[in-house]
Structure 1
Amino acid sequence: MTKKQKFPYLLGSKWTATKKVDGWRHFQVVNRKNQGKWVYAEMVAACDPHVRFWMNAKLLQDGTQWQAGWQSLQEIAALDTEATS
């Protein structure tokens, strides 16, 4: 029986950082890497392909740091308001 892949839809997914990372908020996953029990995602800024970094894909599940899809500043502000209410 084959082992179920963790984060099967990771590659190509789009994310918005709640706080700027290297001056940008919108990122896309362009590569993934499995190392033992960990899965890593290579993130690239949507507006600057030179801004790229690897991170543990598990961190994308933290809604206080990352939101799925590309969110506008108004949507991010609304999420912050909901979180503090």
Structure 2
Amino acid sequence: MSKKQKQKFPYLLGSKWTANQKTWGWRHFQVINRQNRGKWIFAEMVASCDPQTRFWINALQLKDRSLWQAGWQTLTEIEPIEDDLDNVIFD
């Protein structure tokens, strides 16, 4: 017998996220759907203030702290992140 493979991103559905940059005009989103496509997992995001604003992203992007923060963060909580990005020097 083979062990059942552990599901990646088991708590993805229903999770809440804050975009560090406005995305489709909003910052606060919730995952309302997920799709497994081979080795890739996609999350359907919906803006918390506008249910008409929906898009799919690769769930791995949610692990990128320069793009997303877990939970709904206030502007003052995410400002230090933006300040850090302003200080990055790109060659």
State the TM bucket, normalised to the shorter chain. over 0.9
Q: Which residue of 1 aligns with 2:55?
A: 53
Work out which of the residue numbers 16, 33, 39 in structure 2 matches 1:31.
Answer: 33
Code of the aligned partner of 2:42: Y
Gaps of 5+ in 1: none
Distance 1:82 1:36 in 2: 36
The SS at the match of 1:71 is coil
Pick the aligned partner of 2:14 from 12, 15, 21.
12
Match of 2:43 in 1: 41
Unaligned runs of 5+ in 2: none
* CA shift for structure 1 position 81: 3.8
**3-state SS, counterpart of residue 51 of structure 1:** strand
Identity %: 61
Q: Distance in 2 between matches of 1:51 and 1:82?
A: 28
Which structure 1 residue ranges, 4+ long, deviate > 4 Å from structure 2?
Answer: 82-85
Deviations 1:45-80 (A, max 9, x none): 000000000000000000000000000000001233
Q: How many residues align?
A: 85
TM-score by length of 1: 0.93
Question: Cα RMSD between the aligned structures?
Answer: 1.4
| TM-score using structure 2 length | 0.87
The residue aligned with 1:70 is 72
Hey, what's the Cα distance between the residues in 2 that align with 1:2 and 1:62? 28
AA paired with 1:47? C
Tell me which structure has the larger Cα radius of gyration: 2
